[in-house]
A and B are shown apart, each in its own frame.
Chain A
Amino acid sequence: MKPRQKRLLFAAIGLAGVAAAAVLITQALRSNIAYSFGPSQVAAGEAPKDHVFRLAGMVKKESFKRTGDGLTAEFVVTDTAQDVTVRYNGILPDLFKEGQGTVAKGRLAPDGVFLAEEVLAKHDETYMPPEAADAMKKGQEKSLEEVRKAAASAR
């Protein structure tokens, strides 16, 4: 083998190694625990009980309320299967609203309520004026319903 071919071989082996490492790391990231826990994981007791973690999910519709002093917000984070009640005393981001995604950082109280220190809003990748986005969302809900119906009739 000529030296140049040898070096090419080393370079190819190096690239293959990098590709393998990338696949392994993304697989590890996919197992969720790297960043946040969903309500179902909290219900199953997979979330840490004694230290801070992130709770990610959707703010349940018609679950938001102000309690007591009028500053503390209480809402339910859901992944449609399980719910977790979140209590938070602080400024909510502009985009925070019911039906939208959220990521809350905090810890679980013994009574199962998530005491948040920070609440962030998560939005999707729709960059459209409101009317167009609404039309699109309606279309999606329709197709989701169709999928659900098909799944129900298949059962």
Chain B
Amino acid sequence: MSINWFKYSAPSTFYPLAGRMIPWFWWSAILCIGFGLYWGFFQTPAILSDQKQYYRIIFPHVGAAWMSMWLYAVLVGWALAGLVFNTRLSFMMAQAVAPTGAIMTFIALVTGAFWGKTSWGTWWDWDPRMTSELILLFLYIGYMALQSAIDDSRRADRASAVLSLVGLVTVPIIFWSVNCPDPNQCTALHQQSGMGRVDTNILIAMLITALGFWLYSFAVIFMRVRTLILERERSTAWVRELPEISR
């Protein structure tokens, strides 16, 4: 028996599969974010050696920042798959990822500003970490703008896929901007992102909230891609025969 790897690469088979998976992602996202934030607000130390209560901004901040970078890699992955295999669904996935990635980047920047004001003494500083994260937000916005600026969706897909690939350069820069081997070599205002010196309860809350953000991303991206499928495949027979359409 051979597995058909491309079975779910057709919009007509992926549409119902995504529909069945969305509630599972929603419920697990709500559970994870709820548990993670509860743990973060009530089961963690009230005071750290440096920060006071406000350090709890870290729970939404870290998850959103991780997702902002990860979703960009996912977006580029789908865009490349679309360019190489010429599959319609890949481009729709890339297009569906972008708004969620932009929102995560925005959340990371805003919560980061709160952290900055309380810990460092400023809302914003042009340090390498913050500047490269801001560029990532502009890349998401640029991707969405280019995608919607070209009427022919096939051409729009290709042009924005190439743009997203070029923009991929910022993701390793965001990571390395604070994490170089010798911390004295890359000065930034933002601290390094080591996991070694983190209280266990803080770590649990942070990781579970981040997982919740990921599951949330799956849920909304699948919802968005289903809308895109209906929009782009509206003239096909299988869409017209869908019970929610033909009704």
Give the shortest distance, in Å, between B85 (CB) and chain A (any CB). 7
Question: Is A130's CB under 8 angstroms from B80's CB?
Answer: no
Compute how far the CA of A91 lies from the CA of B128 in the bound complex, rounded to whole angstroms. 25
Which of B5-13, B170-178, B217-225, B238-246 is found at the contact surface with chain A? B170-178
B150 beta carbon closer than 8 Å to chain A? no
Q: A29-B173, A118-B122 are in contact. Are A128 and B199 (CB under 8 A)?
A: yes
Q: What are the residues of chain A within 8 A of B48 when measuring CB–CB?
A: 126-130, 133
A132 beta carbon closer than 8 Å to chain B? yes
- With both beta carbons as reference points, the residue of chain A lying nearest to B190 in the complex is identified as A122
Compute how far the CA of A10 lies from the CA of B85 in the bound complex, rounded to whole angstroms. 12
Question: Is B176's CB under 8 angstroms from A95's CB?
Answer: no
Chain B contact residues: helix, strand, loop or mixed = loop
Q: What are the residues of chain B within 8 A of A153 when measuring CB–CB?
A: none
Which of A32-40, A66-74, A106-114, A143-151 is found at the contact surface with chain B? A32-40
The 0/1 profile, CB within 8 Å of B marked 1, for residues 32-63 of chain A is 10111010000000000000000010000000
Q: A26-B172, A124-B192 are in contact. Are A11 and B121 (CB under 8 A)?
A: no
A155 beta carbon closer than 8 Å to chain B? no
Which of B23-31, B161-169, B229-237 is found at the contact surface with chain A? B161-169
B197 beta carbon closer than 8 Å to chain A? yes
- Size category, B interface: 35 or more
Question: Is A56's CB under 8 angstroms from B187's CB?
Answer: yes
Q: What are the residues of chain A within 8 A of B49 when measuring CB–CB?
A: 126, 128-130, 133-134
Which residues of chain B from 53 to 101 have any CB-CB distance to chain A below 8 Å in the complex? 55, 58, 80, 83-86
Question: Is B187's CB under 8 angstroms from A15's CB?
Answer: no
Question: Is B191's CB under 8 angstroms from A26's CB?
Answer: no
- With both beta carbons as reference points, the residue of chain B lying nearest to A37 in the complex is identified as B187
Q: What are the residues of chain A within 8 A of B80 when measuring CB–CB?
A: 11, 14-15
B189 beta carbon closer than 8 Å to chain A? yes
Question: Is B197's CB under 8 angstroms from A126's CB?
Answer: yes
Question: Is A123's CB under 8 angstroms from B191's CB?
Answer: yes
Question: Is B169's CB under 8 angstroms from A25's CB?
Answer: yes
Tell which of B169, B172, B186, B197 touches A127, judged by Cβ atoms closer than 8 Å. Answer: B197
Q: What are the residues of chain B within 8 A of A38 when measuring CB–CB?
A: 184, 187
Question: Is B185's CB under 8 angstroms from A30's CB?
Answer: yes
Question: Is A22's CB under 8 angstroms from B172's CB?
Answer: yes
Q: What are the residues of chain A within 8 A of B127 when measuring CB–CB?
A: 35
Compute how far the CA of A129 lies from the CA of B120 in the bound complex, rounded to whole angstroms. 19
Compute how far the CA of A4 lies from the CA of B6 in the bound complex, rounded to whole angstroms. 15
Most chain A CB neighbours (cut-off 10 Å) among B166, B180, B186 = B186
Question: Is B47's CB under 8 angstroms from A130's CB?
Answer: yes
The 0/1 profile, CB within 8 Å of A marked 1, for residues 149-169 of chain B is 000000000000010011011
- With both beta carbons as reference points, the residue of chain B lying nearest to A35 in the complex is identified as B187
Question: Is A4's CB under 8 angstroms from B84's CB?
Answer: yes
Compute how far the CA of A136 lies from the CA of B172 in the bound complex, rounded to whole angstroms. 30
Give the shortest distance, in Å, between B210 (CB) and chain A (any CB). 15
Q: A26-B173, A136-B197 are in contact. Are A7 and B47 (CB under 8 A)?
A: no
- With both beta carbons as reference points, the residue of chain A lying nearest to B55 in the complex is identified as A127
Give the shortest distance, in Å, between B6 (CB) and chain A (any CB). 13
Most chain B CB neighbours (cut-off 10 Å) among A29, A38, A96, A130 = A29
Question: Is B121's CB under 8 angstroms from A22's CB?
Answer: no
- With both beta carbons as reference points, the residue of chain A lying nearest to B203 in the complex is identified as A127
B188 beta carbon closer than 8 Å to chain A? yes
Question: Is A95's CB under 8 angstroms from B169's CB?
Answer: no
B2 beta carbon closer than 8 Å to chain A? no
The 0/1 profile, CB within 8 Å of B marked 1, for residues 1-28 of chain A is 0001001101100110011011001100
Tell which of B50, B173, B185, B187 touches A95, judged by Cβ atoms closer than 8 Å. Answer: B50
Which 5 A/B pairs are nearest by Cβ-Cβ distance?
A: A93-B121, A133-B49, A129-B45, A22-B172, A126-B197
